[in-house]
Structure 1
Amino acid sequence: SNAKLIRHLENGQVTTLLYGGNANMHNIGVTGLADLLGSLIGAASTDTWIIPSVGPDYGGMMDQAPILRELNFPTVMILPIQFPATPAGIEVGIRRFSETLGKPVIIYIKQDRYLSVSQLAGLKADGLLAAIKYAVPRPVTREDPYLSELCEEIGSENIVSGFGERPAIEHLKTFGLAGFTSGCVCIAPQLSMQLLQAIQRKDWEEAKRIHGLFMPMEDQRERISPIRVLHDAITLAGIAEMGPMYPMLSGIPERECANVGQSAKELLRFEMEARGMAVING
């Protein structure tokens, strides 16, 4: 299933695969981790970067560090922890993990002032910060003092928009972020890349057109559950059979499958049209 999904992504011109929250990596333990990551490496093209995630608990990520160091990934993302944690404690954990890994890491920020700007600047100065995945929701995306301060101190080129296509245009246009991560890229990778390219060349009309194609699927994710909907949507669209979700998550309710499946198949149809191919699975 992962191999089929990886081929679908690569055929859509995606060459960096980040296995984070949408991949339910926060529930993956040490046992079997090396085999799982090895299978992902084996399924991917030599031109594709695989970036795994660790955490959010300190003990788990430190236990995983030797495995990740041995497999020599380009970097690793640290998933965000909300409780029990403090900014000072989070910084210590990040430092120790990065030093043990021997590489700078991606820090995933999902809440306002998760770490202070000065803390993140210190991590960058010490060579422990590779990038920031920024996913703090705001009522008005372009009004974000925390992100503005991070861009000024850390550099917008070191920050990516971290929660899909919905805020991507505004984040890249207003703040100059380097790019965006996406869950729906698993369904429509070529379209997601075309959205990024339209933003980069400042073709705002085309960017908004493509952006609109993702919104029905993103609305389903927002309404029910971003991770659970995406997992089941990949199966319902006929891209790959993803099977049951790994605990502690579960699939979407049966009553939601028809609507989610319809949105997923519609987005896949747009994807195939972008590639100039016939629609998969009708």
Structure 2
Amino acid sequence: MIQATNKLTERLAGISAINVTPFQTETGRIDETALRRNVRFLLEQGMELIVPCGNTGEYYALSQEERIRVTETVAGEAHGEASIVVGIGQDVMSAIELGRHARQAGADAVMIHQPVHPFVTDDGLVRYYDDIIAALDMPVIPYIRSRSVGKKTFAYLQNCPWVVGVKYAIPDVLLFAETVRSFPREDFIWVCGLAENWAPFFQRAGSRGFTSGLVNVAPELSLAMLQALREDDSQAVRRIWETIKPFEDLRAKYDSGINVSVVKEAMKLLGYNGGVVRPPADELNDEDKAALVAVLQGWNKPIASKGMK
């Protein structure tokens, strides 16, 4: 347990690769063959931590049965080659069910999505996390996206031995810096949950490592960013950040409404099978697709003319 957790925390301080969930165009069902190939691609590119059932994996568009299938497929493909952190959430019982299944499938940890329930209090959130964590007996990384998470919740998470870190995705560096300062547990990993675009700023405020959907498209850029951050090479960080920014800015368009659509369309343009997105997400319009092509061409990526790898 201790050795596994040490490896997990070491990898959390790197890149958390959020794989997409490819859906077939004709049926809308999960393409498990494409999913395995995409995970194999991430492994071959050097990804050491993969997060199935994340937001880039369209967690909220999956049924519970589909989440279980995605978990089994990703864990089966990556077993022994990377740490697997499975996204779980929604109501307490559903989160526990999926978490227990993830553990049986060989996952190293679970990432608890912040609940999207319209009525949340700090005390209620503590009970939510405590009920789930107590039932799982495995490492946990909560995913924080809203300012509704208060000091009681962070104090609970800091004092819970099963919580090895937090994926922090509130786009407020000053708030993040104050939160890190207020809860200084040495073995706690604060992960920038806003990907490469925010990673340099969050690292200055106390994060270690970042999440990435870009890895499905251009993992070499994500790895270059990680190396530059670790070497504290500010010129390299700025150069890589400026290269990545147009892609991440496009993902953030329409209040991040096309976040996953951009990743999947980019995969398609490069000859990989990202599949289609499910509602309420939508495919890219012609203007956004043209902007994406320009970004990929600026990276000297060859645009595929036919077929999927």
Q: Is the structural similarity TM-score above 0.5?
A: yes
Task: Give the equivalent residue in structure 2 for 1:281.
Answer: 304
Alignment of 1:130-279 (within 5 A): 130-138=164-172, 141=173, 144-155=174-185, 157-172=188-203, 174-224=204-254, 225-238=258-271, 240-267=272-299, 269=301, 279=302
Residues 1:128 and 2:162 are matched in the alignment: yes
Q: Distance in 1 between matches of 2:75 and 2:260?
A: 22
The equivalent position to 2:134 in structure 1, one of 99, 105, 109, is 99
Instruction: Give the length in aligned residue pairs.
Output: 266
Q: 2:94 aligns with which of 57, 60, 74?
A: 60
Which of 35, 46, 60 aligns to 2:69? It is 35
Seen in structure 2, the aligned counterparts of structure 1 residues 120 and 72 have a Cα distance that, compared at 3 Å, is: farther
1:126-177 deviation per Cα after TM superposition (whole angstroms, max 9, x unaligned): 3231211111113xx4xx13432334414475201111111111111x2231
Deviates more, 1:254-263 or 1:96-105: 254-263
Could you tell me which residue of structure 2 aligns to residue 272 of structure 1? Answer: none
Contact kept, 8 Å, 1:15 with 1:47, in 2: the verdict is yes
* Identity value in percent: 22
TM-score, normalising length: structure 1: 0.84
1:25 equivalenced with 2:56 (yes/no): no
Residues 214 and 118 (structure 1), Cα distance of their counterparts in 2 relative to 1, 3 Å cut: same
State how far apart, in whole Å, the 2-side matches of 1:266 and 1:2 are.
27
Cα deviations by residue, 1:182-224 (Å, 9 ceiling, x for unpaired): 1112211122111111111111101111111111111211124
- 8 Å CA contact 1:55, 1:61 repeated in 2: yes
Check whether the contact 2:99–2:110 (CA below 8 A) recurs between aligned residues. no
3-state DSSP of counterpart to 1:106: strand
* TM-aligned CA distance change 1:217 to 1:50, over 3 Å: same
Structure 1 residue 45, shift from structure 2 partner: 5.7
Corresponding residue SS for 2:167: strand
Alpha-carbon shift at residue 236 of structure 1 (Å): 2.3
Aligned-partner residue type, residue 4 of structure 1: R
Give me the whole-angstrom Cα distance separating, in 1, the residues matched to 2:234 and 2:274.
35
Q: CA deviation at 1:230?
A: 1.8
Q: How far 1:259 sits from its partner (Å)?
A: 2.4
- Structure 1 residues 161 and 79, CA, compared in 2 at 3 Å: closer, same or farther? same
Question: What is the identity, as a one-letter code, of the residue corresponding to 1:281?
Answer: A
Q: Which 5+ residue runs of structure 1 have no aligned equivalent? A: 270-278
Taking the aligned partners of 1:168 and 1:71, their CA distance within structure 2 comes to 31
Distance 2:194 2:226 in 1: 14
3-state SS of paired residue (2:191): strand
Q: Structure 2 vs 1, CA of residues 268 and 136 (structure 1 numbering), >3 Å: closer, same or farther?
A: farther
